[in-house]
Amino acid sequence: MKKTSRRDFLKKAAVASASTIALSQVQAIGSNQQISKLEKEVYPKNRPILNIKKNELLKSKLIVPKENGLKITGTFLDEISHDIPHQNWGEAEWDLDFQYMKAIGIDTVIMIRSGYKKFITYPSKYLLNKGCYMPSVDLLDMFLRLAEKYGMKFYFGLYDSGHYWETGDMSYEIEDNKYVIDEVWKNYGEKHKSFQGWYISGEISRATKGAIGAFHAMGKQCKEVSGGLPTFISPWIEGKKAVAASSSALTKEEAISVQQHEKEWDEIFAGIHDVVDACAFQDGHIDYDELDAFFTVNKKLADKYGMKCWTNAESFDRDMPIKFLPIKFDKLRLKLEAAKRANYDKAITFEFSHFMSPQSAYHQAGHLYHRYKEYFNL
């Protein structure tokens, strides 16, 4: 066999490399020419279109500046599905969804709650003894493994007994979570490096009976057992669209003023800032022309108390009579742009899997995913 000299080898390698570059350039030119041709092509009225198919090369011609909003880097995981349909995914579907999340830069996943009333996400010995139903799959273990596999941070959402929603008193949620926090940290937190924080799942909008004490007690315990891992809350703003999900109304007459919102949340932050690290206000209860005023106050208060200011960018539409469907892209864009103007620290969403995922039960969620990618050049 004839031996190839080092000089001959280098010559051949250089020729091959040049050929590859030339081919890629030709392909790129051909691709651009193809797009241009398709954009200019006009079909005569009497000429039928054969072989109808989607051209993946065509992109929307945006007339607004791109990448002008805060990117979504976190999402809730809602597998209790209290007021949205359950998608009945198995691990294969969840694995694929984590890939879709990763592809647009999501680095944080948050289990919105570990249980609601009698339905729970993991086989909690404590909650099962209280009469909760045994889940068929340990979702907590699965989410932790998937978060680790795809290099994401996982935040654990505390248990919601439902008593607060029935009584208006948040203090009812402290007792059960005393056991849940210890149990989860021992059985999961200590064993998974993806376990990186806690979500105190009680939701309020303003000064609420027992809220400061409950947030403080649960936040303090979360930090103590885990060596100081971060905690956060995600309240809503008592705006004109703050109506119950079960209501047929889309708005209400009375809404909180920016001044009253600031006053009440100044008091709440003062009582919890030492054990709650971030606040992610839900952004869907106020109108789009109110975003800047409320967002400015939220950031001002967070800075005052040394807390991170996140936005919970709702990816479902509160303006529709059908509750709930994926949001119109422009509405999501307006909210993310307002968050960027206010210098928010992070954007998370409720929630990717139902309202943005290409494999969602809602077909239009995949379209929202692609519009989002176009806007952010992903």
pLDDT of residue 138: 98
CB 155 within 8 A of CB 232: yes
Low-confidence ranges of the chain (pLDDT < 70): 1-43
Domain ranges of the chain: 72-375
Q: What's residue 33's pLDDT?
A: 59
Predicted pLDDT of residue 67: 98
Is the CA virtual torsion 265, 316, 160, 220 positive or negative?
negative
What is the helix (H) or strand (E) element at residue 273, kind and residue range?
A: none
Counted residue by residue, the chain has a size of: 378
Q: For residue 94, which of 38, 142, 162, 152 has the smallest C-alpha distance?
A: 142
**Which pLDDT score is estimated for 36?**
58
- Which CATH superfamily does the domain covering 72-375 fall into? Glycosidases (3.20.20.80)
Q: Is the peptide bond before 324 cis (omega within 30 degrees of 0)?
A: yes
